[in-house]
Amino acid sequence: MKHLYLQSDRELMEVQANVLFNHNEDGRMTTINEPSAKSAPRFFMGITKQGLVVRYHETLDEDVKNELKRFVEKAPWLDAPNRVNMADIIRILSKDRPVDHVYLGPAYVFPDVRGRLTQAVKITEMNIELLEPYFSDFVSDVLLGQPAFAVVQNQAVVSLCSSARSSSVAAEASLHTAPDFRGRAFGMEVAAAWAAEVQNQGRIALYSTAWNNLASQAVARKLKLRQYGMDLNFS
């Protein structure tokens, strides 16, 4: 595998698309890359300064797919990547069926954080009871989303980072901090510990969030993550 620091922005977006979704033999999206195997969005577009990464769901009407493809090819994404005309995309997709959900947000990659000292604790099935009382609903997510790291106080996990989606090449972070413990840099601590473990495994550590999640973007800034593009998907 090419070293993570030699990856171009567009290559990183390709990696992320393959981490986020499962694909059929034709390269069309099928399901989200999670144990729940929920359906992938109907349309995904990753925008980078070096080009686009586009994916279509396998069930998307062929005429709609072709119209979307023509629209994507003529739109000035590279000249104005932050000026996405979502109304046109929604109009085209609505010819198939109404759009239920739209996601838009920045995509980041971690710098090399291997060797960084941390007080975060690795969470495995051996100490999974520490997820009580704040993260009892995350037991299966943590067991399936290894590696997982946490800040523990009074024998309870108060901040947690695990793998939301994962492949042999990369993993994407899932970061959560209990409400009463936010604003103490715990999220940065666990995210960096998680990323270091992923990188020690020879994989790329990714992080993405929605544009309206300002707290998550603040974590990305403080960790000096590099934004390589922007994700856009429609269900």
H/E segment holding residue 108: strand 102-109
138 and 196, same domain (yes or no): yes
For residue 45, give both structure tokens: 């577009």
Strands 204-208 and 226-234 come out as unpaired
Question: In terms of C-beta density within 10 A (0-12 exposed, 13-18 middle, 19 or more buried), how is residue 136 classed?
Answer: exposed
Q: Are strands 170-177 and 204-208 parallel, antiparallel or unpaired?
A: parallel
What's the pLDDT at 2? 46
- Distance, CA of 145 to CA of 162 (rounded, Å): 6
Query: What's the pLDDT at 73?
Result: 86
Q: Are residues 87 and 126 in the same domain?
A: no
Q: Are 135 and 41 part of one and the same domain? A: no
Based on the domain organization, do 131 and 220 belong to the same domain?
yes
CATH number of the CATH domain containing 147: 3.40.630.30
60: domain range? 4-108
C-alpha span between 148 and 173 (Å, rounded)? 9
Same domain, 152 and 101: no
Digit-coded pLDDT (tens) for 34-52: 988 899 999 999 999 888 9
Q: Are 44 and 22 in contact (CB under 8 A)?
A: no
169 and 93 share one domain: no
Q: Which of 74, 108, 142 is the last residue before a domain boundary?
A: 108
Question: Are 132 and 206 found together in one domain?
Answer: yes
65 with 133, same domain: the answer is no
pLDDT of residue 93 exceeding 50, the answer is: yes
* Residue 167 identity: S
The pLDDT of residue 75: 72
157 and 104 belong to one structural domain: no
Instruction: Specify the 3-state DSSP secondary structure of 213.
Output: coil
Q: Which residues contact 198 (CB under 8 A, 6 or more apart)?
A: 110, 147, 163, 170, 171, 204, 205
Q: Indicate if 53 and 150 belong to the same structural domain.
A: no
Residues 213 and 145 in one domain: yes
In the chain, DSSP finds a helix count (H) and a strand count (E) of: 6, 11
How many angstroms separate the CA atoms of 111 and 202, rounded? Answer: 13
Residue with tokens 């690795």: 122
pTM of the model: 0.92
Residue 69: inside a domain: yes
Is 28 among the domain residues?
yes
Same-domain check for residues 135 and 80: no
* Better-predicted residue by pLDDT, 77 or 98: 98
Q: Work out how many domains the chain is built from and give that number.
A: 2
Residue 166, pLDDT above cutoff 90: yes
Provide the pLDDT for residue 36.
83
Q: Residue 113 domain-assigned?
A: no
